[in-house]
Structure 1
Amino acid sequence: MANQPFALVCLPFAGSGAGFYRPWRTQFDVEFEIVPIQLPGREEQFLDDPFTDMPEAVRELTRRVLDGTDDDTPLALFGHSFGAVLAYEIALELTRRGHPGLRHLFVSGSPGPHNGRAERASGLSDEEFLGRVQEFAGYQSEVFEDPDMREMFLPLLRADVEMHESYEPSSSEPLAVPVTSLRGCDDTLVSRTQAEEWSATTRDRFAYREIRGGHMYLIDHPDVLLQAVAAH
């Protein structure tokens, strides 16, 4: 894989969009193509309703992955937190379709998909919900400090979080590609034990890698993350 160009398909975490990953294309010198996948309800698609149903989301996002990559280009999937389960489900869907391009799954900041997370934010009042999400993520987006922006983006974040919290895997069959689980070494939301639960999702190689930082380490250290991807 190191000698063959490939595409790193990046799935957003809850409340974010493809714009988080787009700067990586020019900021870092990597030997692979970064392909951000957009979710409805954000950025250039802010008028579209966000996904509320995981199977529907996976079908549509798989189509976008295939539209955004060439058939003969090897691809790897990357997702952080909510994006990790999206990436995993897309990997399962590509496998069901017999797509030959999938080479690797990178999951970040997430417990194994068959165990989930005990903490919940769904159903709380707006203030409690944002406080809980901030507790989960370890940071507060500036978007929610502006009342107008908050009113616009809060339903989007709620939809992502509720879909994440109600998520159940579509299959228990292990993938036939390597899986790498990444985690911030100071992450207080996802433990190492939880991050290593991803080993059960593959019958190929599994690797675990820690990167300095907390749950949202990829905000401060995307270069280290991309080095880890390149190494695998």
Structure 2
Amino acid sequence: MTTGTDGTTWFRRHSTTPAPRRRLVVLPHAGGSASFFHAWGSAFDGATEVLVAQYPGRQERFNEPCVERMDVLADRVTAALLPFADVPLTLFGHSMGASLAYEVTLRLEERHRVTPAALHVSSRKAPHRVTPRDLHRRGDDELVAELRKLGGTDTALLDDPDIRQLVLPPVRADFTIVGTYGPRPATPVGCPVHTWIGDTDPNVAVRDMDAWADVAPHGFRSRVMPGGHFYLVQQHETLTRELAGHLTGTT
């Protein structure tokens, strides 16, 4: 069992970048895994290495205990990321991963004097606007109903009781993180902030994303794309192309 901060445990590379000039660090959503972002490994230029976080309790980390607190998860991800900070880091977090990316950015800056090149946050309210919910205290059927509403998961699999038994524990753990991460001061970060959202997201409004400007004194951009909470599935090519432009300075 591995519960430490080893970068090879915490981050998956979906392709090899021999001599990266920059790294994109992707932090998945609640219930998500690194495999969700497999296609991102080949979506950027040869100088960009993509690292996707693999949280405990899923896939090859199935036997590890899930994390249920944002501060613990952010501390561990930050520690695991430090060996990769020899080149500029850009963080992209989707949904729960957006809050995590923000917390990791603060820790990198405040504790380690590492300022990311940029923070990209997707489909998640700003830290001082988040509204915790109690889904983690509800029954399995309500968790499944939420997953169906948001999309992004092959919810037909959840009809199988055996698969439910495998999938729901990390989902509940992540929803515990989300449900106990309350509104907090709008502490600014030292890098530009970019927000992304689907125009029909059932849980997050465009104005919620605009509030991220309050923590972005070094620059703020927002982008609204067609789609719901998981717009990034349908808009994969557009999103990664525009993100690549930000990474290389051509956008």
**What is aligned with 1:49?**
65
Aligned-residue identity in percent? 32
1:179-218 alignment runs, 5 A limit = 179-218=193-232
Stretches of 4+ moved more than 4 A in 1?
none
For residue 160 of structure 2, the aligned residue among 146, 155, 160 is 146
What whole-Å deviation, never above 9, does each CA across 1:100-135 have from its counterpart, x for those lacking one?
351100000011111113654232221122113322
**1:168–1:118 distance in 2 versus 1, CA, 3 Å:** closer
Deviation, structure 1 residue 204 = 0.6
Deviation, structure 1 residue 150 = 0.6
**1:157–1:141 distance in 2 versus 1, CA, 3 Å:** same
**1:48–1:90 distance in 2 versus 1, CA, 3 Å:** same
**What is aligned with 2:109?**
95
Q: Distance in 1 between matches of 2:158 and 2:227?
A: 23
- Contact persistence 2:40–2:240 (CA under 8 A): no
Q: Distance in 1 between matches of 2:27 and 2:76?
A: 13
RMSD of aligned alpha carbons: 2.0
What whole-Å deviation, never above 9, does each CA across 1:32-66 have from its counterpart, x for those lacking one?
22111110001110110110122111111112222
Deviation, structure 1 residue 169 = 6.2
What whole-Å deviation, never above 9, does each CA across 1:76-111 have from its counterpart, x for those lacking one?
001110110011100010011233351100000011
**What is aligned with 1:22?**
38
Deviation, structure 1 residue 147 = 1.4
- Contact persistence 1:37–1:65 (CA under 8 A): no
**1:151–1:175 distance in 2 versus 1, CA, 3 Å:** same
Task: Report how many residues are paired.
Answer: 225
Deviation, structure 1 residue 228 = 2.2
Q: Give 3-state SS (helix, strand or coil) of 2:51's partner.
A: strand
**What is aligned with 1:60?**
76
Runs of 5+ unmatched residues, structure 2? 1-19, 247-251
Runs of 5+ unmatched residues, structure 1? none
Q: Give 3-state SS (helix, strand or coil) of 1:88's partner.
A: helix
Q: Give 3-state SS (helix, strand or coil) of 2:50's partner.
A: strand
- Contact persistence 2:44–2:240 (CA under 8 A): no
Q: Distance in 1 between matches of 2:163 and 2:225?
A: 32
**1:153–1:52 distance in 2 versus 1, CA, 3 Å:** same
For residue 11 of structure 1, the aligned residue among 27, 41, 58 is 27
Give the TM-score, by structure 1 length: 0.89
Deviation, structure 1 residue 180 = 0.4
**1:154–1:55 distance in 2 versus 1, CA, 3 Å:** same
Deviation, structure 1 residue 72 = 2.5
